[in-house]
Amino acid sequence: MWHPYQRKQGPVVGLVNSLYVHPIKSCRAVRVEEAEVLRTGLKYDRNFTFAELLDPEGIPDMNSSESTNWKFVTQRKYRLLANVRLEIWVPDPESPDYSPDQANVISEGILRVRYPDPKSGSRNTAFKMFDIPYSPTEDQVSEMGYTMEKLTIWKDRPDALLIASTTNASPPEWIKEIQTYIRCLKPLALFRVAAGHERQVFRNAPSKEQLGYQSVVGFVDAYPLHILGLSSVADLDQKLASVVPEFKESSALRFRANIYCDGPEAYAEDSWKRIRIGQSVYYVACRTTRCELPNTNQWTGVKHGSQPSKLMKTYRNIDEGAGDGKACMGMQMVPVTEWGIIKVGDEIEVLETGAHYYIKQ
């Protein structure tokens, strides 16, 4: 088992440039200056997700008595989720009106969601807003009528907390309006990760014996953390400019990473196996295989017909395990400890390099 504070020295290759969390999967990212690192990844990252109701015949276990089949949704299908904006409000003990008994304190803060009003016309310049408790207690769950339901996310089907759905007898207006705005024709719901029902991570992740704990995730696609070098993004942008001149902005946020780093040469992260960021060590599990989600502009929700996915497939098909035509960009990571802190400006130290081979789901 690796010890996180064993000071094996490695070359300092760069710094953390920026940190992002995505409280609702596939909605607008939130930039932070520092973050707690939990065994599931950054705190506040992908603890909520929208889901649509599929036909009951699609339930993976046909011997089950379950009558609903909720499946997570992302920008892959509903690109306008990019325009759902998020804010995290956390309790401030220094505030004059702070009280440990306040509902918003007990729930560890609130998630404020802003979404374009579907009645505001094609430009959708008017926004509406609602708040939900970030981590509701059992009493709050009961009071607000939240329920536990099965949720399909890739090949997993964990129990999750159903916050609201359009199938409710009296659904909140916001869930109906978001359904209309993103053009979802099926019943829509918002779920939260339920404590104790996280999804276990295997494949390229280190074993429980290596880590000393079982790696788990909430609603991220595969692994707890995603890191990407800005030099790699700059190289892609330079190539992209010669192919699609209308691409003006950096493509960095299209990849929805948690950690963007300055300093390493383009694609240097491809060979990282273990790194230290600040005081904590991370196992670099595998490369990030890319779908077509990066084709969506994260500021507008407008999707390009083919780029940058088409271009990346011409030169980033580098992992035999990922298969032909599967571009890779960025790396997936697992924290070596179950808790840590990461900050913008932290040094990145490479402890081990080596080859990677992606294992599919």
pLDDT in tens, 27-68: 999 999 999 999 999 999 999 999 999 975 544 443 444 557
Residues paired with 62 in a beta bridge = none
- Write down the pLDDT at residue 201: 96
d(CA 163, CA 165): 7
Judged by DSSP in three states, 139 sits in helix
- Write down the pLDDT at residue 7: 52
User: DSSP string spanning 168-209?
Assistant: SSS--HHHHHHHHHHT--S-EEEEEEPTT-PEE--TTSPPHH
- Write down the pLDDT at residue 166: 97
- Write down the pLDDT at residue 324: 84
- Write down the pLDDT at residue 81: 98
- Write down the pLDDT at residue 10: 79
- Write down the pLDDT at residue 3: 47
Tokens of 286: 């595998």
Question: What residues in the chain have per-residue pLDDT under 50?
Answer: 2-6, 58-65
| Whole-structure pTM value | 0.93
Tell me the per-residue pLDDT of 144-172, one tens digit each, with 9 for 90 and over: 999 999 999 999 999 999 999 999 889 99
Pairing of strands 30-32, 159-165: unpaired
- Write down the pLDDT at residue 67: 57
